[in-house]
Structure 1
Amino acid sequence: MKRIAMLGLLLAAGCTQPADPRGVRPDEVLLQVAATGRAEAAPDEARITVGVSSNGATAQAASAANAQAMSRVTAALARLGVKAEDVQTQNLSLGRIDYGPGRGGYRAENLVEVRIRDVRQAGPAIAAATEAGGNVVSGPNLRASDPDAVLNRAYAAAYRAARVRAEAYAEAADLEIARVVAIRDGAGQPPVPYGGRYAVVEAQAANVAPPVQAGSDTYQVQVHVDFALKR
């Protein structure tokens, strides 16, 4: 009896089909779909780099002049509503000038990155900084303050696109979607700016706030979804 029971177990084991490593069952068909999703958002904050480059006959004179001018710049930004935690030093330098009209003297430079939490204040901030003595300006770099929220909308759109494509395949093959086997996150792409990004203009010399157009950014992502199809 033991030999018969053992033989029955071996036969049953031989009839069992091994599991598909892809996650589909014997009566299912695997469909792998890659889809792209996009979401747009208007930038709601700006980053600008402002600073002061000062020359002096001595290193001490250049440093002192630079410190005084930079204090005026940061004070002007503060009056505009920029908080201290939104101003970060990016570069401090002091060196001898070995060429040009100031040869033999010294040049001190101080650059800070300024976070403007309202895009509409980017132009006035640039004007205020230059009026206070800032002579090094670049930007603005416009961005969404919460990019993850925009990316999540793009991922949701990507999944919906994958589902629609899978339904089209299933209908054409006279099948239906049984379930989702796997979802894999594809690589997201940096936002693509649309619209104007014009900051520093000649009118800035007259302390006129330069125009800053926020436009919109398009965030693009990709997802890979595995569907199990069946009749």
Structure 2
Amino acid sequence: MRPKIEVLGEGEARVSPDMAIVTLAVLKEAPTAREAMDQNNSAMAAVIAALKEEGIAAKDLQTGGLSINPQWVYPDGKDPAEKPRITGYQVTNSLTVRVRDLAKVGGVIDRSVSLGVNQGGNIVFTNDDTAEAMSEARKDAVENAMAKAKTLAEAAGVGLGSVLRITEGGGMPAPMPMMKSMRAQGMVAEASVPIEAGENTYTVQVNVTFELVQKQGKQDDASQKDAK
């Protein structure tokens, strides 16, 4: 087998995000499931209509989940005959919104809260097209692997030959989540929610295998020893 060395190279590319993914939810409670559902439907329909008025395309609006849960009251144990009873129902409807104009993110949240959104608020800043950033990260990773291999080979007194194999590991973006939760109370403000998009980092790892070769001086010494 030919002598070889395998190294791990890491590369990254930093770019400004051009899209925000926002999760909004409406929670309504009422004595009956029908009433809770009707109230929720009305609020969510108003939210969706407002988002479309803000320029959000229909393809960028997606229902994330709908849940209907009874609200139970459990006995305190003083009366053995008393049983748990339902006092009302809770309906939650969540919506995932892709905001492609980052200047609108704060306004979208503000208006949604005004119309009934009282849960969610998670924001992830990302990029619609990551191909260029990932390409830069791959180049950086290969250069990093070659530099590592060269350092190791020089320390061992050998040279680097041809590349025998390159495999890519997990390339992953590092989005920036913000605002883990949001409640309607106190969220309606005169100005939009302040939003800072920051910067996204996309990382790539590559495994590169190089052939190792003896340097010329060492090869001549080895040949002389063999001749003796």
TM-superposed deviation, 1:75? 0.7
- Greater radius of gyration (CA): 1
Cα pair distance change 1:123/1:39, threshold 3 Å: same
Q: Distance in 2 between matches of 1:99 and 1:207?
A: 39
Q: Distance in 1 between matches of 2:194 and 2:58?
A: 25
Structure 1 gap segments, 5+ residues each: 1-19
Conservation of the 8 A alpha-carbon contact between 1:130 and 1:207: no
Aligned residues: 201
Which one is further off, 84-93 or 206-215? Answer: 206-215
TM-superposed deviation, 1:156? 1.1
Q: Does 1:187 align with 2:161?
A: no
Q: Distance in 2 between matches of 1:138 and 1:182?
A: 45
Q: Does 1:226 align with 2:200?
A: no
Conservation of the 8 A alpha-carbon contact between 1:197 and 1:214: no
Structure 2 gap segments, 5+ residues each: 75-85, 216-228
Provide the residue aligned with 1:130 in structure 2: 113
Cα pair distance change 1:112/1:197, threshold 3 Å: closer
Amino-acid identity (%):
31
- Counterpart residue type for residue 129 of structure 1: S
Q: Secondary structure at the match of 1:145?
A: coil
Cα pair distance change 1:98/1:225, threshold 3 Å: same
Conservation of the 8 A alpha-carbon contact between 1:98 and 1:104: yes
- Counterpart residue type for residue 149 of structure 2: A
Conservation of the 8 A alpha-carbon contact between 1:187 and 1:222: yes
Provide the residue aligned with 2:221 in structure 1: none
Q: Distance in 2 between matches of 1:33 and 1:60?
A: 62
Provide the residue aligned with 1:52 in structure 2: 26
Could you give the per-residue CA deviations for residues 178-225 of structure 1, whole angstroms, max 9, x where no partner exists? 3111112223355264xx945859863225321111111222222111
Give me the CA root mean square deviation. 2.7
